Amino acid sequence: MTKDKKKQPPLTDIASLGEFGLIDHLTKGVALYHPETIMGVGDDAAVLDNGPLATIVTKDLLVEGVHFDMVYTPLKHLGYKAVAVNLSDIYAMNATPKQIFVGLAISRRYTLEALEALYAGILLACEKYRVDLAGGDTTTSQAGLMLSITAVGQAEKEEVVYRGGAKPNDILMVSGDLGAAYCGQLILQREKEAFKANPDMQPDIDRYAYVLERQLKPEPRRDIIELLRESGTRPTAMIDISDGLASEIKHLCKRSGIGATIYEEKIPVDPRMAQTAHEFNIDPTTCALSGGEDYELLFTIRPRDYEKVKDLQGIHAIGHMGEAQGEAMMYTSSGQLIKLVAQGWDALKG
Residue with Cβ nearer a copy of itself (22 or 329): 22
**Cα dist. 240→31, 162, 220, 237 in Å?**
27, 11, 9, 11
Does position 63 interact with a copy of itself (CB under 8 A)? The reply is yes
Single-letter amino acid code for the residue at 103: G
Instruction: Give the footprint of a copy of itself on residues 201-240 (CB under 8 A).
Output: 203
Region from 160-168, 198-206, 226-234, 244-252 binding a copy of itself, contact rule CB under 8 A: 198-206
Q: Is 66 in the site for a copy of itself (CB under 8 A)?
A: yes
- Please, which residue, 160 or 321, has the CB nearer to a copy of itself? 160
Whether 306 contacts 246, CB under 8 Å:
no
- Asked if 46 is part of the footprint of a copy of itself (rule: CB under 8 A), the reply reads yes
Residue 4 interacts with a copy of itself (CB under 8 A): yes or no: no
Residue 59 as a binder of a copy of itself (CB under 8 A): the answer is yes
Q: How many CB atoms lie within 10 A of CB 17?
A: 16
CB of 175 to a copy of itself, least distance (A): 23
Asked if 60 is part of the footprint of a copy of itself (rule: CB under 8 A), the reply reads yes
DSSP annotation of 158 reads G
Number of residues that bind a copy of itself (CB under 8 A): 94
Is 55 a residue that touches a copy of itself (CB under 8 A)? yes
Q: According to the binding rule CB under 8 A, does residue 76 interact with a copy of itself?
A: no
Rounded to whole angstroms, how far apart are CA atoms 203 and 200? Answer: 9
Rounded Cα distance, 317 and 312, in Å: 11
Look at residue 302 and give its three-state secondary structure. Answer: coil
- Distance CA(102)–CA(82), nearest Å, equals 9
Rounded to the nearest whole angstrom, what is the least distance from the CB of residue 295 to a copy of itself in the complex?
15
> Is residue 326 part of the contact set for a copy of itself (CB under 8 A)?
no
| Residue selected from 6, 17, 68, 343 as contacting a copy of itself according to rule CB under 8 A | 17
198 in contact with a copy of itself (CB under 8 A): no
CA angle 227, 233, 235 (to 5 degrees): 100
Radius of gyration of the chain (CA): 21
* Residue whose CB is less far from a copy of itself, 199 or 335: 199
Contact residue for a copy of itself among 167, 190, 195, 275 (CB under 8 A): 195
Among 5, 6, 33, 325, binds a copy of itself (CB under 8 A): 33
d(CA 12, CA 112): 40
189 binds a copy of itself (CB under 8 A): no
Q: Cα separations (Å) of 136 from 114, 132, 151?
A: 18, 12, 11
The smaller minimum CB distance to a copy of itself, of residues 196 and 254, is found at 196
Q: Which backbone phi and psi does 60 adopt, to 5 degrees?
A: -135, 140
In terms of phi and psi (left: phi > 0; alpha: psi -120 to 50; beta: otherwise), the region of 226 is alpha
CA atoms within 13 A on the CB side of 191: 18
Stretch that binds a copy of itself, among 165-173, 193-201, 261-269, 274-282 (CB under 8 A): 193-201
Q: Which stretch binds a copy of itself (CB under 8 A): 63-71, 213-221, 292-300, 301-309?
A: 63-71
Q: How would you class 140 by CB atoms within 10 Å of its CB: exposed for 0-12, middle for 13-18, buried for 19 or more?
A: exposed
Closest distance between a copy of itself and the C-beta of residue 110, in Å? 6
Position 168 contacts a copy of itself (CB under 8 A): no
Q: Which of residues 95-154 bind a copy of itself (CB under 8 A)?
A: 98-99, 101, 103-106, 108, 110-116, 119, 123, 126-127, 130-144, 146, 148, 150, 152, 154
Closest-CA residue to 172 (of 6, 298, 275) = 298
* Cβ 236 to a copy of itself shortest distance, Å: 22
Q: Which stretch binds a copy of itself (CB under 8 A): 178-186, 190-198, 209-217, 298-306?
A: 190-198
The 3-state DSSP class for residue 145 equals strand
